[in-house]
Amino acid sequence: MSGHSIMNLPNLLTVSRIVATPIFLFLLLADVWYLRVGSVLVFAAASLTDLYDGRLARSRGRVTEFGRFMDPLADKILVTSALVALAVGRIVNAWLVIPVVVRDVIITSMRMYGLYRGQMMETSRLAKWKTTVQLITIFVILVMIGVQELSIHYQWHSIIDLESAMFPLLANGLMAVVLLLTVLSGFHYLFRTEQHSSSAL
């Protein structure tokens, strides 16, 4: 499996997620309504690549060591960038984002060290669920931002108001679920790593 060419369709989808991240950030942080609305579409498209790259690789027998490492890394780059941008924009509380970012930096560093030692740790099912919940949470928050931008520009009556108490309550409530799953998956990863190290002795 690992002998396949790196430049196959599943890996290109993974790399496209990384390439899309700075484009998404530029659109989200721009002070122009249609660019911020566009950031929702870019994030949605980037998230969909995460749904298909792994499935394509497995169904077509195109699984590579590059893809196995880069797929979760691309997820972390996209998710972390989005969460930091939302925290900087005071859309969500920074104290809910910081532990998520720290966890991902630690786990990524451990995966890179494991790769250096020739040990590739598979992404657990819990970690995959965590990433899915993260992507959905960010997408829901972005959609609410996009709806507000559209309602302001076109002078629609909208129930979504970023300045109201309801929006931060919902956004931070979703982030609390993300934080819980992130902490649980982090401990699970550390436990698996410890078991793997013990069995190798």
Region 68-75: what's the mean pLDDT? 86
Per-domain residue ranges for the chain?
9-200
Identify which has the larger pLDDT, 192 or 126.
126
Q: Is the dihedral of CA 67, 186, 103, 111 positive or negative?
A: negative
Structure tokens that stand for 46 in this block: 């980037």
Cα atoms in the 13 Å half-sphere on the side-chain side of 149:
20
Region 140-144: what's the mean pLDDT? 93
The pLDDT-based confidence of 3 (bands split at 50, 70, 90) is very low
pLDDT digits (tens, 9 = 90+) for 79-128: 999 999 999 988 999 999 999 999 888 888 887 777 767 676 667 788 88
Q: How far apart are the C-alpha atoms of 177 and 45, rounded to whole Å?
A: 23
Residues comprising the chain, all counted: 201
Q: What is the pLDDT of residue 4?
A: 54
What CATH number matches the domain at 9-200, 3.90.550.10, 3.10.580.20, 3.40.640.10, 1.20.120.1760?
1.20.120.1760
Identify which has the larger pLDDT, 179 or 114.
179
Q: What is the pLDDT of residue 162?
A: 60
Q: What is the pLDDT of residue 19?
A: 96
Identify which has the larger pLDDT, 35 or 152.
35
Q: How far apart are the C-alpha atoms of 195 and 23, rounded to whole Å?
A: 40
Q: What is the pLDDT of residue 196?
A: 57
Region 169-186: what's the mean pLDDT? 90
Region 159-178: what's the mean pLDDT? 80
Query: Are residues 179 and 100 in contact, defined by beta-carbon separation less than 8 angstroms?
Result: yes
Q: How far apart are the C-alpha atoms of 10 and 146, rounded to whole Å?
A: 30
pTM, two decimal places = 0.85
Q: What is the pLDDT of residue 201?
A: 45
78 pLDDT above the threshold of 90: yes
Q: What is the pLDDT of residue 159?
A: 58
- What is the DSSP code string of the chain? -TTS-SSSHHHHHHHHHHHHHHHHHHHHHSS-HHHHHHHHHHHHHHHHHHHHHHHHHHHTT---HHHHHHHHHHHHHHHHHHHHHHHHTTSS-HHHHHHHHHHHHHHHHHHHHHHHTT--PPPPHHHHHHHHHHHHHHHHHHHHHHHHHHHHHHT---S--TTSSHHHHHHHHHHHHHHHHHHHHHHHHHHHHHHHHHHH-
Query: Are residues 94 and 42 in contact, defined by beta-carbon separation less than 8 angstroms?
Result: no
Percent above pLDDT 90 for the chain: 40
2 pLDDT above the threshold of 60: no
> Considering only 150-154, 161-165, 173-177, which range has the smallest mean pLDDT?
161-165
The pLDDT-based confidence of 160 (bands split at 50, 70, 90) is low
Query: Are residues 20 and 78 in contact, defined by beta-carbon separation less than 8 angstroms?
Result: yes
